[in-house]
Amino acid sequence: MLSDNAPSICSGRLDKELHLPSTARHELLDFIATHLLPWRFDPERPKRHSETDLTEQLADYLNTATYYSDKWSHVHFSCETGDERNRGRKIDLTVKPRAAVIMINGRRHNKYDALFPIECKRLPTPKKKDRDEREYVITEPGTTGGIQRFKFGHHGATHSLAAMIGFVQGKTMSYWKGRVNNWISQLAKRPSPQWYLSDKLQKLQNKNSSKLHVMHSSHPRTGGLDDIELRHLWIEMN
């Protein structure tokens, strides 16, 4: 009888250890950027509009892309994972090692550790009475704004690099860059501001196309946290 047999306890095989240069995370962000347009125009992709659906679709596409990649087959993407420090908060998308332990700048990342977190936002923010149109940057009241979460350590407190993906569903890339930076300018004008003009989005050279814009921003943080760099990947969906 099967019930008479003692269970067999086996240990899994050891993951290989990879030592990557400090530039590896930026290179991985470039990899993500190069796959946004193929994902957007994939004829098999079901047409969806919600942030959750689009993020899940993108994770599926990127996991296929990494599986067949010679360089990035040792990473995968997960949706709605808990933040490493604030477990009650969910990260839209995280990149984690697959069948490997990855060392970058002396920091060890195993299968349970995010290489960096990614926040996804729609532009414009859906119009509902409980939504702030500035949600890509900030929500008031609340702490669910995209840049806000990283700047104040609600997300990614243990990271110095993170990313935001903007699903542009109306108007133009230039319009939204101006709009986002104007919101930041207005926040910087407040008495005793926690926001600065240096928080604005800046263009990365030779990274933009008509339907894909790649920008970056840098944000000082308080509470003993290191400054954080954000890479902004915007894809036109309309």
The pLDDT score that the predictor gives to residue 193 is: 85
**Closest to 119 (Cα-Cα) out of 172, 81, 73:** 81
Q: How confident is the model at residue 13 (pLDDT cuts 50, 70, 90)?
A: low
200, pLDDT greater than 90: yes
Is residue 217 within 8 A of residue 231, CB to CB? The reply is: no
The pLDDT score that the predictor gives to residue 9 is: 45
Determine how many CB atoms are found less than 10 A away from the CB of residue 117.
Answer: 24
Is residue 75 within 8 A of residue 95, CB to CB? The reply is: yes
Query: What six digits make up the tokens of 57?
Result: 């679709």
Mean pLDDT score, 215-224? 95
Packed helices 24-40 and 51-67: angle between N→C axes, nearest 10 degrees: 110
Write the pLDDT tens digit of every residue in 78-114: 999 988 888 789 999 999 999 999 999 899 999 999 9
Ranges of each domain in the chain: 14-236
Mean pLDDT score, 126-150? 94
The pLDDT score that the predictor gives to residue 205 is: 75
Query: What six digits make up the tokens of 64?
Result: 């296929």
Whether the model clears a pTM of 0.85, i.e. scores above it, the answer is yes
Q: How far is CA 71 from CA 60, 97, 198, in A?
A: 18, 13, 34
Q: How far is CA 180 from CA 45, 102, 124, 193, 233, in A?
A: 29, 35, 11, 17, 14
Mean pLDDT score, 145-165? 96
The pLDDT score that the predictor gives to residue 1 is: 43
